[in-house]
Structure 1
Amino acid sequence: MEPSILSLLPALVTIILAIATRRILISLGVGIVLGALMYAEWDVLAALEFVREAASGLIVADGEIAEEVYILGAVVLIGVLSSLIYVSGGLLAFASWAVRRVRTRTQAQFVPVVTGIVIFFDDAFSSLVGGTVSRSITDQHRVSRAKLSYLVDSTAAPVIILVPISGWAAFIAATMTGILDENEVDGLHGYEAYLQSIPAMLYPITALLLVVAVAWFSIDIGPMRRHEQRAIEQNVLFDPAHGLPPGETDRNLPVREGGRVRDLVWPILTLIAVTVVGALWIGIAGAEGSLAPMDILAATDVILALFYGTIAACLVAAAMLLVRRTPGRVIGKAAVSGVRSMLFAAAVLFLAWITAEVIGELGIGEYLAGVIDEALPLALLPVILFVLASFIAFSIGSTFGTFGLLLPIAAEIALSLDSALLIPVFGAVLAGAIFGDHTSPLSDTTILSSIGSGVHLIDHVTTQLPYALVAAAASAVGYLVSGLTESTGLGLLAAVTALALAVLLLKGRSAVRGAESESAPQVGEVKG
């Protein structure tokens, strides 16, 4: 079918159903069926074949195992690792150690923030590992899993896109190089254009600043208030009405007495070390002799390295249990429990990818991109592109897809009207893609953040949305000022000022009462 306004229907139906019914698998299934039928012009057999091809492409791509398979493997293995660490007693030992050093809820909320900043090279790794590592600390300070997942998600992609030595930087710089060459822009290289665009990426900047404000001032707005209230008053960290969230350890597993901190630390360090070393090894091998950081980043495969890292971490955790003469049946039971805890999450992730494939084939991005009218006032161009990129990323659940689609269009429009707007519109598209990705339940990083943090996906989406909207509104103000003044610096100043005013309005009104008690809680089991 030709791209049209109807192309939006499957995405909207999926998202509305997911939020209204909270049945994410059914909602994704409905979206897939509707999108496939629309694409095949209501030919059922053709629609089935289309879905089969989309699903098989997520398993084998270009004759090789697809990246998505390694992501699913890493997700399941993270569940196994969590169960093994729990059985070893390392989780409780680490919590006892950490609670003596991280003494307040405020300090606990900064743990995932700092972790997200440190893990700056890959969003999937940051989302999974950041939540997994941090929740043993935040749980003890009665920080809700919804708050944890917001802190993890909002310090993953925003950090990575702003750091000029990440895999994202290499991809964006390469994309911009092609755009500049095609438009015969002299005196500006792709990486230089990316660096100049960083101050114009207003949403990632405001999102990170808001994360710090939320952690420092305990700003709880919208549905987050309910989650935080329940965590503080009842020590119930996720909504028990929906059962155990993906990745939550089975509390009926036996736990070894005398657990030690190293029972958690060594497997996690193994995970990080193998992933980092593996990514460097793959990148150096793929760079064909070049040792330039950008060449290595462009050639590496962090997802494959993460998959090997989770395998190594599970082996280390199991070996440590065997050394302490833990029965093999207990280790096996823990491993099976870990796999089982992640099956639902893996199914959601796989169906979300199929949904994104189906929606992408309907031409939703092309249709929305074609809505732009070059006769629009120049001053409105950055904010319009920000909104458009946000909606495309929200609909298809892909930042890279939005980058690839909209950056060339934005460049052509800016260069045909006023070349001074090139950098601001680049920044607007990149920022909008991050905002749309943050708010979409179809986004893999949104799903991975909820998995790593141990919270239901829809709870993560609905509690993060108000914060994302605050940062997006401040960014929109900045883009309006940037368009009016043709100054990236003034746009950034306007966005930060607008965010500061929003924080002042929210601070004091929104914090959950009872959070003022900052004494360290006793270590023990958390309730679900």
Structure 2
Amino acid sequence: MQAWIVKTLGFAILVGSIMALIDKSGGIDGFVDFMQNRAKVISSAKSALLLSYMIGVVIFIESSITSLIAGAVGRPFCARYKIPQAKLAFVCDSTSAPISSIIVLNAWGALLLGLISTQITQGVIEANAIDLLIDSIFYNFYAMSALAVTFIAVWFNIDIGPMKHSKYIAVDAKIDLPNPQSMYYMLLPILLMVFFVFVYLYITGDGNILKGSGSSAIFYTVLTTLVFTLFYYVGKKNMTLKTWSKTTVKGAKNLLPIAAILLFAFAIGEVTSELGTGQYLASLASENLSIYLTAAVIFLLSSLISFSTGTSWGTFSIMIPIAVPMAVAMDADVALAIGAVISGGIFGDHCSPISDTTIISSMASECEVIEHVKTQLPYALISGLIALLLFLLVAFISN
């Protein structure tokens, strides 16, 4: 198994430990108390949802982290302002994967960089993997449209489809916290993760961040953050060493299923590549598909695969070895084709009831999965339609 795959899987597991430790420390409760009672930033349902939206945008380390933190912070405000949990789940889900796929200094970037590098090493295309990845971000139309549609829906309180009928369901929630812990128990580990991603990209790139190893950077970052929480939480007597150890193991176990999904996704991608599926479809496409429709077709195909499998990462592993040879054979824009894969993977993932981000966003918001899927679907379809039109337009202009 390649080193970057091992590091990506290690990151996916250890992120669970860090999230469990932050939750156990009481830092999230402290942050809620500060925003609500001290800074008095939150004064309405709109401002509460905007806070979760901003958290979703700022915390781009990993989509699961984004959903969990945005949901954990937003839940008490849902109780105070009677915000339907479905709305919070929609905000969590519609910011997590899109922002993680746009700011790719995370596991998403490591995965995509690895898949693109594989196409280069196999001689499918001659290019710089990092440059190609950066170029493809500008064509990630679904992620951009989803972020815009979500913001507009929150700002103007636009409810469409089943969201019109969603109601707040009373649950046990901590609204008033008599002795909250410091919010820095949450903020410092998160800020440290963001900071050390850049540090390790600089180190692994021999002084050039853009040439750094994404998989190594994120893996070493979570290890560093984990060690930091040990000294910080135990040293501050926030928790005992035994509690820290148990919480670390429990958090890692919680994300083992997601790590397993990633492992199988990598395997599927490798099998697809070995079978030459990409080259076969590329030969068919070059004869039967117009160059103007290439990006749109890749987007729709990626959406279908992602919806059916429930994993955007698995879709990337399947579709990038297909899309890149298709684009090369048809002399189309390779970065546009990769952007279509990324967009389609996220779009199908948002619509799928078996998606990990769908389930995590529902869990973090205390919303039923089916309720979340039904209420989010109209917004996702609007964003998907915008992305499809943009792929058609850009393909027409560029060719």
TM-score interval (norm. to shorter): 0.7 to 0.9
Map 1:312-461 to 2 at 5 A: 312-313=228-229, 316=232, 349=258, 373-374=284-285, 375-417=288-330, 419-461=331-373
Cα shift at 1:383: 1.6
Describe how 1:68-217 pairs up with structure 2 within 5 A.
71-72=12-13, 74-75=15-16, 78-79=19-20, 81-85=22-26, 90=30, 93-94=33-34, 96-97=36-37, 100-163=40-103, 168-169=108-109, 171-173=111-113, 175-176=115-116, 179=119, 189-217=128-156
Could you say if the C-alpha distance between residues 201 and 105 of structure 1 is closer, same or farther in structure 2, counting changes exceeding 3 Å?
Answer: same
Contact 1:214 1:220 in 2 (8 A): yes
Q: Which amino acid aligns with 1:445?
A: T
Is 1:300 the counterpart of 2:241 in the alignment? no
Work out the CA distance in 1 between the residues paired with 2:327 and 2:376.
Answer: 32
Whether contact under 8 Å (1:266, 1:316) holds in the other structure is no
SS at match of 2:26: helix
1:269 deviates by 1.9
Amino acid at match of 1:215: V
Partner of residue 463, structure 1? 375
What's the CA shift string for 1:326-360, capped at 9, x where partnerless?
xx9xx97x9999999x8996587578668868988
**2:302–2:341 CA contact under 8 A, matched in 1:** yes
Superposition deviation, residue 108 in structure 1: 1.6
Task: Label 1:74 to 1:408 Cα distance change in 2 as closer, same or farther (>3 A).
Answer: closer
Other structure's SS at 1:220 match:
coil
Normalised by the size of structure 2, how large is the TM-score? 0.76
> C-alpha distance in 2, partners of 1:184/1:356?
21
Which amino acid in 2 is paired with 1:300?
A: S
> Shift of the alpha carbon at 1:429?
1.6
What residue is the counterpart of 1:478 in the other structure? 390
What is the letter of the counterpart of residue 381 of structure 2? L
Structure 1 residue 472: deviation in Å? 0.9
Output the CA distance in 2 between the equivalents of 1:226 and 1:366.
48
Q: Report the alpha carbon displacement of residue 471 of structure 1 after superposing the two structures with TM.
A: 0.9
What code does the residue aligned with 1:399 have?
S
User: 1:272 aligns to what SS in structure 2?
Assistant: helix
Q: Does the aligned pair in 1 maintain the 2:258–2:356 contact within 8 Å?
A: yes
Once the two structures are superposed, residues 2-48 of structure 1 have per-residue CA deviations (whole angstroms, 9 ceiling, x without a partner) of xxxxxxxxxxxxxxxxxxxxxxxxxxxxxxxxxxxxxxxxxxxxxxx
C-alpha distance 295-442 of structure 1, shift in aligned 2 (>3 A):
farther
Identity across aligned pairs (percent)? 24
| Worse overlay, 448-457 or 290-299 | 448-457
> What is the RMSD computed on CA atoms of the aligned residues?
4.5
Unaligned runs of 5+ in 2: none
Query: Is the Cα contact below 8 Å between 2:8 and 2:111 reproduced in 1?
Result: no
CA distance in 2, matches of 1:202, 1:458: 26
Q: Give deviations 1:160-211, integer Å, cap 9, x for gaps.
A: 322365554465355445535755756x543333343334222111111111
In structure 2, do the counterparts of structure 1 residues 118 and 346 end up closer, same or farther at CA, with 3 Å as the change threshold? closer
Length, aligned pairs only: 392
Alpha-carbon offset, residue 93 of structure 1: 3.4
Amino acid at match of 1:214: A
Higher helix content, 1 or 2: 2
Question: CA shift at 1:74, angstroms?
Answer: 4.4
Verify: 1:291 aligned to 2:207, yes or no. yes
Q: State how far apart, in whole Å, the 2-side matches of 1:413 and 1:335 are.
A: 49
Inter-CA distance 349–170: structure 2 relative to 1 (3 Å threshold) = closer
1:314 CA displacement: 7.7
User: Residue 322 of structure 1: CA displacement?
Assistant: 6.0
Letter in 2 for 1:205: M
| Aligned-pair CA distance for 1:128 | 2.7
Report if aligned partners of 1:154, 1:211 keep a CA contact under 8 Å in 2. Answer: yes
Provide structure 1 residue ranges, at least 5 long, that are not aligned to the other structure: 1-56, 241-247, 489-528
Q: Which residue of 1 aligns with 2:186?
A: 268
Deviations 1:280-306 (A, max 9, x none): 565556x1x612113335243536644
C-alpha change, 1:145 and 1:73, in structure 2 (3 Å) is: farther
The answer to whether the 8 Å contact 1:83/1:338 transfers is no
Answer yes or no: is the 8 Å Cα contact 1:390–1:436 preserved in 2: yes
- Using the size of structure 1 for normalisation, the TM-score is 0.60
Offset at 1:474? 2.0
Q: Distance in 1 between matches of 2:254 and 2:162?
A: 22
| Secondary structure in structure 1 of the residue aligned to 2:95 | coil
Question: Structure 2: how far apart are the matches of 1:113 and 1:308?
Answer: 27
- Greater Rg by CA: 1
> How far has the Cα of 1:432 moved from its partner?
0.7
SS state at 1:127 partner: helix
Q: Note the C-alpha offset of 1:406.
A: 1.9
**Cα gap change, 1:368/1:443 in structure 2, threshold over 3 Å: closer, same or farther?**
farther
Mapped to 2, the partners of 1:420 and 1:356 lie a distance apart of: 27
Q: Is the alpha carbon distance of 1:194 and 1:66 closer, same or farther for their aligned partners in structure 2, counting shifts above 3 Å?
A: closer
